Structure 1
């Protein structure tokens, strides 16, 4: 029984340590999860300072942290990321991009394609068809450093006057 009374007497130090640890981890992550846990620990500390038993402190801290994580964190994250750039980047930005075939390609033989953004990529055909130069293609996926493409409906040199 002596150990439990020692825990109950010095619980405020444990709450302070938890608050500080959670705040440091929050500074490293920035996802607001540990901030909510830290505020829950503040509730536990407040319960200790009022004289609540240790079991009640833990329950109150857990309820506060759980409520904050459930109800406050999602709207705060939406507000935090409200102005974020949602445009695709890197490989995702290449998917669906059109290009012009520079050298003949097939699924087994790579060729080259000049994409609409100006980049020249090594490319392979998606299907079992050969794609000739001057054919308009669309990027379906990226396999390593190779664009997998499929032809679009029209060829680059086709015009209404042909």
Structure 2
């Protein structure tokens, strides 16, 4: 059995790759996947040579390089805020809406994407029922809207 393992160390390296990848899936730390990459490199070397020292050195060097060079870059990319991706009520800004009840300075109703929202006009002018409008901003649970051709400030 030991003779077979000595001749087929790639199996042990493959098992280590899978175990480390599984641990990475649990921790999501981007550390164990780097070790897994080192084990994968050692497995490739084990297919070329039976020298266990060379395989272990390959594992250590590749894993260290991945942890020191690749991991910080990967973490910085993961921690960057998504540019251009709006969520929640921010995703409604710029959306088209239809006036359900007259919208004025203090009250009104609009339909935005199938949902009914309370609304106010951006500049206080009255907007009649059925008018198409654009959402300029959301203030609490109220959509601040304006006619699409109205380019006045949303403040």
Q: TM-score category by the smaller chain? A: 0.3 to 0.5
TM-score by length of 2: 0.48
